[in-house]
A and B are shown apart, each in its own frame.
Chain A
Amino acid sequence: MGLGDEVQKAFCSMFPSGNCGVHLFWRIMHLILSIWYFFLWLVDMFESFLISSGLLKRYKTLDISKVQYLAIVIDSEEALQTLKVLNLLVWLAAIGLKNVCLYDNEGVLKRSEQAITEILKSEKRFKEITTSNPPLDEKGMSLEFISFSDGKEAVARAANFLFKKHYSSENKEKPNFTESDMAGALREIGYERPDPDLMLVYGPARCHLGFPAWRIRFTEIMHMGTLKSMKFGFLVKAIRSFTMVHQNYGT
């Protein structure tokens, strides 16, 4: 007799009334698990509160020099919550991060770029803010707004560029393309931007939703939950976790 049969036999002996007993048992299990998850949620909320109020020593001094370029990927539905996005940017500025790339698949953030930057400029700390291919040595915060068209579609355009440059001429020599050629092509068509060191993903799914593939070879990816539930404490915790990471780049 297999284990499943034994368990079923045990259930039947414990609950002679059959399915009602089993149903009740599962409901009790469900309640226990819900209470456990609620407890975990309380613990996380408390930790976030401690981090936000600066009571946890290890979070007081955050070495953000490792985060030269931060990518924020937001689910397009959630990206409609412009106030939440603004709040997130304010937090990032408060932490001291200078170079932030905002991505969503459908370009919701791109369409909100003007509104977001105007509101931010009205905030004192955002007096110096640059967008749309800003140079990285600016004093203030630089924001990059991108969408799917800056990812796979950009690579397709780069492929077209490479073909025209190397294959469409009468020159008989047809070189093999290299990664440098592709990087050069992306630069020529206006898509050269740094690779993010860290990517924070806000949304229900734990995926990067088509963020430009060329740029995320060694990017650390952290799923932060939904934008609705974002907490300053979780943000600081994620960044601190990243600063503790050692990358060996495959060697």
Chain B
Amino acid sequence: MRSLQLQALQLSLTPSLFKPKLLSHLPYSTLRLPSPPVASLPRNAISISQSQQTGVVQNGAPEEEYLASLPEGLLRELMPNHVAVIMDGNRRWARMRGLPIWSGYEAGVRALRRLVELCCKWEIRVLTVFAFSSNNWFRPKVETDFLMGLFERGLRDELENFTKAGIRISVIGDSTKLPKPLQVLITEALEVTKNNSRLHLIVAVNYSGQKDIVQACQSISLKVKDGVVKPEDIDEFLIEDELETNCTDFPCPDLLIRTSGELRISNFFLWQLAYTELYFEHTHWPDFGEDEFLEALHSFQQRQRRYGGQNS
């Protein structure tokens, strides 16, 4: 009883600790404090398996234990349904440490694994990661070949774990330009995980926000030609239904995180981000961990989002 009272008291007071009204006008970058310590997990909550390196998350914790495993200060009703991440800074991370850039990318994969675990643990419904932009083909071939190999290895190594963990995988972007073995593996991964529902992991590979809009318009034109849709019915809602994010019930991210301090979208989800909370994190992607994610979620939960409407 005492632990429940303490918890309720903490939850009621904690949000007001972070930003008094006097200072709510300040840009976020001036208000960063170290995030609060994460509550310890009850013994029988969602647990990480023995092989922490591979990052396998095990299924099956009931609702009460999920509620107890949400870190202090986070409110369940304010958790984002869909989080999108631009995983920037792998190369800079490696250069800062005097390592080859391949090390940066591999460290980035480990960071992604950590994030997937956290999203499963905290019941975020959809996680989209911007793995490879259509602009990235302009990088040296040896680098793009390495990245394609890394995607293939990562997907092959984790497919079984994702299946066990109830993670559904979708891949958006123009996959026709990817190496054939990777295309085959993607098709297999989509098929094997299509009925999973714990977390929907969407990986954007060779993705372009502008191209997504164009292909949506193309799809609509074909539907109009076939008589499925009338020309006068073409509107922004129809376009949204044809975007590649129509694979999920939550196509528009609630929160976008971009690491490495860059303050732009870089041709990712141009349409879908209209009312998305934009969180620009200075840490490079390989260093983005639980603390950083918590800080992003805390910041998200404090914001007043109106989705273009007026305050009620």
Taking Cβ atoms with an 8 Å cutoff, the residues of A that contact B are 2-5, 8, 11-12, 18-19, 22-23, 26, 29-30, 33-34, 36-38, 40-41, 43-44, 75-77, 105-106, 148, 151-153, 155-156, 158-160, 162-164, 166-168, 174, 176-179, 181-182, 204-211, 213-214, 216-226, 228-229, 234, 245, 247, 249-251
Contacts and interface: CB of A to CB of B under 8 A. Distances in A.
28 contacts: A2-B42, A2-B43, A8-B3, A22-B9, A26-B13, A30-B17, A33-B17, A36-B33, A37-B19, A40-B26, A44-B30, A148-B308, A156-B234, A159-B234, A166-B221, A168-B225, A177-B218, A179-B208, A182-B213, A182-B217, A207-B275, A210-B308, A217-B210, A224-B27, A225-B26, A250-B266, A251-B136, A251-B139
A78 B222 CA distance: 42
Contacts of B273: 207-208, 213
A40 B263 contact: no
Nearest to B139: A251
Contacts of A162: 217, 221
Most buried by B among A33, A153, A159, A224: A159
A43 B26 CA distance: 12
B244 interface: no
Interface string B252-280: 00000000001111110011011111110
Contacts of A18: 2
Contact of B267 (A3, A159, A210, A218): A218
A217 to B, nearest CB: 4
Interface residues of B, number: 77
B49 interface: no
B217 A217 contact: no
Contacts of A11: 6
Contact of A163 (B2, B23, B234, B266): B234
Nearest to B212: A213
A4 to B, nearest CB: 5
A162 B211 CA distance: 15
A155 to B, nearest CB: 6
A11 B40 CA distance: 16
B146 interface: no
A4 B39 contact: yes
Contacts of B262: 245
A206 B300 CA distance: 9
B204 to A, nearest CB: 13
A153 B236 contact: yes
Interface of B: 2-3, 5-6, 9-10, 13, 16-20, 22-28, 30-31, 33, 37, 39-43, 133-136, 138-139, 208-211, 213-218, 220-222, 224-225, 231, 234-236, 238-239, 262-267, 270-271, 273-279, 303-306, 308, 310-311
A155 B6 contact: no
Nearest to B210: A179
Contacts of B305: 205, 207
B239 A226 contact: no
A167 B275 contact: no
A220 B25 contact: no
Most buried by B among A22, A40, A207, A228: A207
Nearest to B32: A40
A228 B17 CA distance: 23
A209 to B, nearest CB: 6
B209 A167 contact: no
Nearest to A37: B23
A178 B304 contact: no
A37 B33 CA distance: 10
Contacts of A76: 308, 310
B225 A182 contact: no
A243 to B, nearest CB: 13
Given A155-B217, A156-B236, A159-B220, A223 B25 contact: no
A163 B221 contact: yes
